[in-house]
Amino acid sequence: MHQSSLNFIFCVRCNGPLELDVFSCSDEIKEGFLLCKKCDILYPIVSGVAILWNDFVSYLSRRKKLGGQLFNEAKNSKLKSHIKKTLSEVEKNVEDQTLIEKRWATIYQNNSKSKFYSKIKSILNQIESDVSLEHGCSIGTISEHMAKTSNQVFGIDKSFFAIKTAKEKKLSNADFFVADSLLHPFANQKFGLILALNLLEIIEPIDLIKTISSQMQKGYLIISDPYDFDRGKNSVKHTVNEKELRDELKKYSFSISSDTKKESFIPWNLQIAKRTELKYLVDVVLAKKL
Ligand SMILES: C[S@@+](CC[C@H](N)C(=O)[O-])C[C@H]1O[C@@H](n2cnc3c(N)ncnc32)[C@H](O)[C@@H]1O
Ligand SMILES: [Zn+2]
């Protein structure tokens, strides 16, 4: 985590200020705690990655293997004992997401040259912004491009492995955190550019749009999705289609750019194994708040 990021991040529970306790630091903070005195909560920083999750016990309950790995990676004794104590409190019989999230971080690394990303980059080349945010940024492929035309970029994702990979890009004006888009760490910070690519199946669309709208007074939003909503018990409650997405954005005073008023079908191919490829056709919307 960059020390300067402390000016932008707050407690995800109360939006109050965070204090920083650094255990290990080189060009960036490698190990430490961010603490909210009001909530009496510690957010750990392990291997350079700040985990700004509302409840670390529930985060590690779904990622027990990751918990073991964080314990091994941590060198400071206070950090180690915090992870150990958290692991002793995790819920049993919860499915472990560690290997799934690790696998997807590798898949995104192997597919960073898709046509879909070229399309997003070509839109981004025309947009300048001071402070920008990418929700569900995964390994930071697009955040890295945003950092060319923004002064400061933040990317958040719930996957530790994705964020760790994003941080390996070592970008001086971009920082990445493990965080939930709907319980984000930016309090009242406003952004001039926000991206939310291919998240609507995973994060409640109506809630995500409301959150994004509250994070922007004036600026640009790029939102895309293949509307692949049928995910059994993991499906979101309120789906949106091409029209409903645009209508929802208009409710929050976004105007839709003329060339994305009509739905699009941008190919997004993900080679997920030697003989398996996912082929999505993605609808991209560029929306503006004036
Ligand atoms: C389908 S992937 C899209 C990744 C990237 N935006 C792209 O288009 O290449 C969804 C991403 O959202 C992340 N994610 C899921 N739920 C999230 C949440 N509540 N908050 C933040 N990130 C989340 C996942 O870890 C994953 O990296
Ligand atoms: Zn707090």
Digit-coded pLDDT (tens) for 47-89? 999 999 999 999 999 999 999 999 999 999 999 999 999 999 9
Burial of 24 (0-12, 13-18, 19+ CB in 10 A): middle
Q: Residue 136 phi/psi, 5° resolution?
A: 50, 50
Residue 139 Cα to ligand 1 midpoint, Å, equals 10
What is the reported pLDDT for 231?
Answer: 87
Alpha carbon distances (Å) from 11 to 20, 42, 125? 12, 10, 33
SS3 per residue for 183-239: ECCCCCCCCCEEEEECCCCCCCHHHHHHHHHHCCCCEEEEEEECCCCCCHHHCCCCC
0.95 cut: is pTM over it? Answer: yes
Q: pLDDT tens across 12-40, in order?
A: 999 999 999 999 999 999 999 999 999 99
Examine the domain organization and report whether 194 and 238 are in the same domain.
Answer: yes
Residue whose Cα lies nearest atom 17 of ligand 1: it is 158
Could you give the CA distance from residue 135 to residue 148 in angstroms, rounded to a whole number?
Answer: 18
Look at residues 72, 95, 118 and tell me which one is the last residue of a structural domain.
95
Examine the domain organization and report whether 220 and 175 are in the same domain.
Answer: yes
Look at residues 28, 61, 95 and tell me which one is the last residue of a structural domain.
95
Domain that holds residue 24: 3-95
Mean pLDDT of 129-135: 98
Domain of 131: which CATH number? 3.40.50.150
The answer to whether residue 232 scores a pLDDT higher than 90 is no
Which ligand ends up closest to the CA of 40? Answer: 2
Examine the domain organization and report whether 196 and 70 are in the same domain.
Answer: no
Residue 163 Cα to ligand 2 midpoint, Å, equals 23
For ligand 1, residues with CB inside 6 Å are 136, 138, 156-159, 162, 180-182, 197-199, 202-203
Instruction: For residue 153, give the nearest of 138, 165, 171, 169 by alpha carbon.
Output: 171
Residue 138 Cα to ligand 1 midpoint, Å, equals 6
Examine the domain organization and report whether 123 and 65 are in the same domain.
Answer: no
Residue whose Cα lies nearest atom 20 of ligand 1: it is 180
CA 95 to chain CA mean position, Å: 21
Number of domains in the chain: 2
What is the reported pLDDT for 234?
Answer: 85
Alpha carbon distances (Å) from 52 to 34, 35, 140, 194, 230? 9, 10, 17, 19, 29
> Ligand 1: which atom is nearest the Cα of residue 181?
20
